[in-house]
Chains A and B, each alone.
Chain A
Amino acid sequence: MAKGISHHTDAELFYQMKEEKAIAEQAFGELYARHSPRVFAYCRRILGDRDRAQDAFQDTFIKFYQSAQQERIMTNVPAFLLRIARNLCLNAQRTKHQTVQFEDFHASMNDESAEKAELLKLITTALELLPEDYREAFVLREYDGLSYQEICEVTNSSMATVKIRLFRAKQKIREILAPYLADLAK
């Protein structure tokens, strides 16, 4: 019995995007559902501006599909997607000054949510204050869940550099949020 689409690996789905339209559409939809949150999170938190993040996000998946039409060996789809997103975000940053917007932020309404929402607002604000390479390392690790090795691949950096950036990013955020975190940690 043929296995369902959700049981295919990322790589299998990537190669299916070269096949006939119905299969390609299904494979793309599955990969989109799997990875669109982390790609959008990357664009959103790296660029800050929601509209520019949306543009970069859309272009990422369109380029992703186009790249699947070429001969290519695929081993790590999320890292590949984030590399495309990264290039597009770098281009976007070059063309426009970064702006900080929290226009439509609205957090969950669970227990403790107000406190966490407040902290989240502070973290996203602190992220805007970080150097770009620190922010990128933090987003790739905390938002996209990449391992140190995967971050190295996406950013073309050494392991030592990644570790330092990540450590310093967290420490910087801690410093910025020190008064608040101290209360929260009590």
Chain B
Amino acid sequence: MNSHNTSNLLHAFLDGELEQSHEQPLFNELASNGDLRNELRELLAMRSAVQQDIEAFTPPLAATSNVFSSLGFALPMASTGASSVIGGAMSSGAVNATALVAGASWWSKLWLPSVTALVGAGITFWLLHWGYSSNLTTMATAHAAEIQKIRSEAALKLTSQTNSFRNQLQTASEPKIITKIEKVYYPKIEYRYSDRNASSNVPPSDVNSNTTVNTTIPTEKNSLIMSTREMLPMLGQYSMYEKSIYGKQSSMYFASPISQDNALIESHDAMTGEILEREFFPVDEPYYQHWSAKLGGVAATLASTPTPSLASPSATFNDLSLQLMYSLSEELSVGGIIGRESFPLSYNGMIAGSKIEREQYSSVFWGSITAQYQPHALSFFGGVQPYIGLFGGGSEIGMIYRGQVGVQYPLSSRFSISAGYDISGLFYSFQNQGFTTVKAGVNTGVIFHF
């Protein structure tokens, strides 16, 4: 038997195509022919290597998705019959490693995180609202006697000072415009006047120029009052400046501290001392609810499990996100976000009877609903606002959760910038086994308010 013939027999034997009658001669030749045995080893090594060609046997997830969406079909669920054959057998030991990741529809991936996030946002909002109202009521009740005492003292002082003020007005021998700067520091009240020439028809420069001032007779109607209201420094963040025609809108304010963060505010008519309004500070002022859009991005990935050993994918618009938020209050916003981001994936399974481990570094589209809480009490350096954000949603390959802690800084009334620390978890499955990628990094963003 020549070497060409024996090689042919050997190839046919390995391919399962050799007739039985030719087997024994081949075996005899193998026993005596070292070169043939060597060829056998090489062919087996070659075949074994081919069977490890996982990349060739794994259609990209995008291709699978395209095929099914082109035909109007949903991706098959891992738990159903269709993909139970993901790891199914192939003839002659060829490898089946279709990475059909679990999840038939977006809804099946999104409903649980969506409901969770909505319920979480609802509970948070209710707790904050209930806690705030309850706290104020409790404090007002507990300090009722103290407040009453302060109020009485303040009323006496007010009466005295308004009488004095009124006397000055009524006994004035010359026409004057009265500019009053009212500063309220508990328990002190200051008044300051400035006389002006009776012949001048020009109002003070910082008074509304549309106001016509008759300086002939110093009555309530032609006297201008400017008042600045500044609350106790320890209460912070609250000040008001008002201009008005004296006698119509003039008022004075007393702040009676209840605690470090709360006070009872009473406004009095400057002339009569009548109490015009009472309110608690911080005042539950109407908040201008608004939308905001944030263009964000992953500035750096600091750590991840698994650690990527492959090059980062070079997809267009990678590691970017667009977030749309609606502010329910000054401190709480809810909304949604879509983005595309790189995640290192590592999973394993059984293929052709042997265990395989596989790594990918994939760029996946993701979306989620989100809630953001930014406690004003923690604001510092004139407007740097800390925030915490929670995200729950889905991606092309499985559920995604994310948490962010960071700060925002307003550049103007319309634009802010943000930077923060970010931890995300991506959950996916292969051959009905679940796998997780956890990633931590730094994110940045530009926010437009409208």
Contacts and interface: CB of A to CB of B under 8 A. Distances in A.
Contact of A174 (B46, B60, B90, B357): B46
B8 A167 contact: yes
A29 B83 contact: yes
B357 A33 contact: no
A30 B94 contact: no
B95 A167 contact: no
A28 interface: yes
Contacts of A147: 15-17
A30 B62 CA distance: 18
Given A65-B71, A106-B310, A167-B7, A37 B55 contact: no
A70 to B, nearest CB: 16
A80 interface: no
Interface residues of B, number: 65
B50 A29 contact: no
A148 to B, nearest CB: 5
B355 interface: yes
Contacts of A73: none
Nearest to B77: A29
B46 A29 contact: no
Nearest to A105: B55
Nearest to A66: B71
Interface in B93-143: 93-98, 100
Contacts of B64: 32, 36
Given A147-B17, A173-B46, A104 B357 contact: no
A40 B60 CA distance: 9
Interface stretch (A54-62, A91-99, A128-136): A54-62
A29 B52 contact: no
Given A5-B81, A54-B62, A147-B16, A37 B46 contact: no
B67 interface: yes
Nearest to A78: B91
A175 B80 CA distance: 46
A125 interface: no
Nearest to B51: A142
B70 to A, nearest CB: 6
A87 B300 CA distance: 45
B33 interface: no
A123 interface: yes
Contact of B58 (A5, A37, A110, A142): A37
Contact of A37 (B17, B66, B98, B310): B98
A147 B85 CA distance: 22
A158 interface: no
A173 B42 CA distance: 10
A123 B67 contact: no
B95 to A, nearest CB: 7
Interface string A76-89: 00000000000000
Interface in B26-53: 38-39, 41-43, 45-50, 52-53
A33 B55 contact: no
Secondary structure type dominating chain A contacts: helix
Interface residues of A, number: 61
Nearest to A42: B56
B56 A41 contact: yes
B83 A45 contact: no
Given A106-B55, A108-B357, A143-B53, A33 B100 contact: yes
Contacts of A124: 53, 56
B63 A57 contact: yes
Contacts of B41: 184-185
A119 B45 contact: yes
A123 B49 contact: yes
Contacts of B56: 40-41, 44-45, 124, 143
Contacts of A49: none
B94 A41 contact: yes
Interface string B250-278: 00000000000000000000000000000
Given A6-B85, A167-B11, A40 B94 contact: no
B354 interface: yes
A34 B81 CA distance: 11
Contact of A38 (B16, B48, B90): B90
Nearest to A184: B45
B359 interface: yes
B49 A40 contact: no
A36 to B, nearest CB: 5
B59 interface: yes
A68 B64 CA distance: 19
Contact of A181 (B15, B45, B57): B45
Contacts of B90: 37-38, 145
A75 interface: no
Given A36-B64, A41-B94, A182-B38, 11 more contacts: A26-B80, A29-B68, A33-B85, A37-B57, A41-B56, A45-B53, A107-B52, A163-B12, A174-B39, A174-B42, A184-B41
16 contacts: A5-B81, A5-B82, A26-B76, A30-B85, A38-B90, A40-B59, A57-B63, A61-B67, A108-B356, A110-B355, A116-B52, A117-B52, A145-B93, A148-B15, A167-B11, A185-B42
Interface of B: 7-8, 11-12, 15-17, 38-39, 41-43, 45-50, 52-60, 62-64, 66-68, 70-74, 76, 80-86, 88, 90-98, 100, 310, 354-360
